[in-house]
Amino acid sequence: MSSIATIDIAPFLSQKSKLWKNDGIRSLMALESTPGIISLLAGRPNSSTFPFESITLKLKPTLAGLPPATAGADPFTLTIEGEDLNEALQYGMTPGAPRLLDWLTNFQTHVHKRVQDGSWKVNVGSGSQELIYRTCDSLMNDDDFLLIETPVYPGTLGFLAALPCTLIEVNADAQGLNPTHLETILSTWDTTHPGKRYPKALYTIPSGSNPTGASIPEARKIEVLKLAKKYNFLVLEDDAYAFLYYGPEGQQARSYFALEVEVNAEKGRVVRFDSFSKVVSSGMRLGYITAAPGICNAVALITTNTSLHTPSVTQVMAYKLLAGWGPEGFLAHCAGVAAFYRSRRDMFERVAHKHLSGLAEWATPVAGMFLYIRLRVQANNPDADTAELMRTKAVAKGVLAVPGTAFMPLRGPTPFVRISFSIIEEAEAEEACRRLREVILETRAEAEAAMRTT
């Protein structure tokens, strides 16, 4: 059997990541759980002075029609009191509440079939957004390049603009990231970027991408992973929509994190980001990173110096919910949520076909909450840009959708707009598509009139 290599993370870390210092208190906190130890360590407030007696959460039956999460006398009530309340209201550990981390570690083993062998670990953060930012901050130096799936979630573009790295767009299509384009970029690197270091990492959104809705098939992931090994870059797998898969049963691609050992016989190249935002609550601000300890520790070092830790209240809430469900219960809940979005997708597509046939095109997503629609505003030019039109005419007509340029790292023109079908009801969807149709028809008529007069 060939041996599995664990890649060395140190050369990937930025200069800045090495400058943060441990604060001398938090780094000792792990010792407090040593049996018999008396801790005079942290300046914790005495929680008996806090004004809360308990926190009671009323649960709904899950969308999957499952029994509720808790096994208590009233299974619809989740109560946080006593030691749980103390934990929820008190300062906590920087990487996350230990029992939540244990739960998530077991969950990752369950979902991605990765044994717990010390080559990876899980940390939580205030949303995956924070973890993605802190990871990029821990990696990027002045002369570094970051490969970025394009179009891309603009929540990354704002902070990447402030980081000292150069973005290299890698095209995505209806099947997600295009490995052929990735290979072209890398195989011509020495010519296009003479004397420059090869890109350090690739940022990609593999499932139900924001904005394209595309999910990359496993075969493409394998190609990407092989390129990652060949050209020695990390894969930043932002899988915020992983649990919103509603395509054919049994056909969801395995994650990059699951595949890296099998494909490359190595561990540590994939940095995975998960989020509770789309399946439990976005306001709880809870996400988790699964990565080589060197990466998690670099991220935690920023956390320890900036926000100390992720809020304990939401961590305890999440833990109580998840511990009641167990991994299978959580997955069943997620399947119920995904089925909800499938029916929203079906509704929106039905309405869009009715009003936009021949005027717009899109690929049907199998995950997530977005349609990425190409508006045909010029009959003879499928690539005509639609940004200006969406900002002016569409708004004037009373319909808002995100112009595709917002998702282009280098702000290139695009005929696409992103629509979100997550919270819209049928009557409003119908009216929105009708208004979009008017916008397109009027724009076409103006373009044709302009052509006639020239």
Ligand X SMILES: Cc1ncc(COP(=O)(O)O)c(C=O)c1O
Give the interface with ligand X as residue ranges (CB under 6 A): 127-129, 153, 155, 205, 210, 238, 240, 275, 277, 282, 287
Q: How far is the CB of 19 from ligand X (least distance, A)?
A: 26
Q: Which residue has the tokens 């046939």?
A: 357
Q: Which is nearer to ligand X, 153 or 257 (CB)?
A: 153
Q: Which is nearer to ligand X, 334 or 351 (CB)?
A: 334
What is the C-alpha to C-alpha distance for residues 103 and 121, in angstroms, rounded to an integer?
12
Taking Cα atoms as reference points, which of 320, 267, 264, 128 lies closest to residue 207?
128
What is the C-alpha to C-alpha distance for residues 6 and 290, in angstroms, rounded to an integer?
15
Q: How far is the CB of 247 from ligand X (least distance, A)?
A: 18
Q: Which residue has the tokens 């056909």?
A: 251
Q: Tokens for 31, please give them.
A: 């010792």
What is the C-alpha to C-alpha distance for residues 308 and 44, in angstroms, rounded to an integer?
13
Q: Tokens for 140, please give them.
A: 């990027």
What is the C-alpha to C-alpha distance for residues 70 and 50, in angstroms, rounded to an integer?
26
Q: How far is the CB of 148 from ligand X (least distance, A)?
A: 12
Q: Which is nearer to ligand X, 179 or 208 (CB)?
A: 208
Residue nearest to ligand X as judged by C-beta position: 127
Q: Which is nearer to ligand X, 127 or 404 (CB)?
A: 127
Q: How far is the CB of 203 from ligand X (least distance, A)?
A: 10
Q: How far is the CB of 275 from ligand X (least distance, A)?
A: 3
Contact by Cβ (8 Å): 92, 315:
yes
Q: Tokens for 359, please give them.
A: 């005027």
Q: How far is the CB of 93 from ligand X (least distance, A)?
A: 20
What is the C-alpha to C-alpha distance for residues 388 and 403, in angstroms, rounded to an integer?
8
Q: How far is the CB of 245 from ligand X (least distance, A)?
A: 14
Q: How far is the CB of 13 from ligand X (least distance, A)?
A: 22
Strand ranges (E), 22-164: 55-58, 77-80, 121-125, 144-150
What is the C-alpha to C-alpha distance for residues 196 and 161, in angstroms, rounded to an integer?
20
The answer for residues whose C-beta is within 8 angstroms of residue 393's C-beta and 6 or more apart is 439, 442, 443
Q: Which is nearer to ligand X, 7 or 317 (CB)?
A: 317
Q: Which is nearer to ligand X, 103 or 393 (CB)?
A: 103
| DSSP structure string for 331-367 | HHHHHHHHHHHHHHHHHHHHHHHHHHTTTEE-PPPSB
Q: How far is the CB of 303 from ligand X (least distance, A)?
A: 14
Q: Which is nearer to ligand X, 129 or 414 (CB)?
A: 129
Q: Which is nearer to ligand X, 75 or 155 (CB)?
A: 155
- 3-state secondary structure at position 370: strand
Question: What is the DSSP secondary structure assignment for residue 406, as one 8-state letter?
Answer: G
What is the C-alpha to C-alpha distance for residues 250 and 143, in angstroms, rounded to an integer?
43
Q: Which is nearer to ligand X, 130 or 385 (CB)?
A: 130
> How many CB atoms lie under 10 A from the CB of residue 50?
13
